[in-house]
Amino acid sequence: MVVAIAGVLIAVAAINLFPSDTQVARREAAELALALERARDNAWFGGRPTAITLNEGRLRQWRLATDSWSASAPDLALPSDLAVSAIHVDGQPLDPKAKLLFLPDGFGQPYRIALEIRGQAWGIEGDAAGAVTVIAP
């Protein structure tokens, strides 16, 4: 009986200690979606346009001050197994070095960020009203 209970406990611990690639990918996509929501919220509550760039394995947040952009938060390092495949704004491809813009009025253009995480295609979508959703493969 003791051996059976120990076996069940070990099986439960193994599931939690060694997540599958899909679980890891879902978590990494969700963390990126939260970073996008923070940038959106900074625009809404800060009253100034905010933008993000996803370059060289980093997410950088920008804020428009008068007539120039400046980095407004520390860069967020993206996981090494996460790659941004493409960014589309209102159905049009966005230059990889361009900024994804969030306006302070809460309205914007819909966007989709295509991700490759551990060999799986994931996505993050934002609608015109500001909702951010993780899209599973």
pLDDT of residue 17: 74
3-class secondary structure, 94 = coil
Low-confidence ranges of the chain (pLDDT < 70): 14-16
- CA–CA separation, 84 vs 27, rounded Å? 15
Segment holding 125, helix H or strand E: strand 120-126
Segment holding 44, helix H or strand E: helix 21-46
The pTM assigned to this predicted structure is: 0.83
| CATH class of the 20-135 domain in this structure | alpha beta
3-class secondary structure, 54 = strand
- CA–CA separation, 48 vs 109, rounded Å? 16
Per-residue pLDDT reduced to its tens digit, 6-25: 878 777 776 667 778 888 89
pLDDT of residue 20: 83
Strand ranges inside 46-106, DSSP E: 50-55, 58-65, 68-71, 76-77, 82-89, 92-93, 100-102
pLDDT of residue 83: 93
User: How is the chain split into domains, by residue range?
Assistant: 20-135
Residue type, 128: A
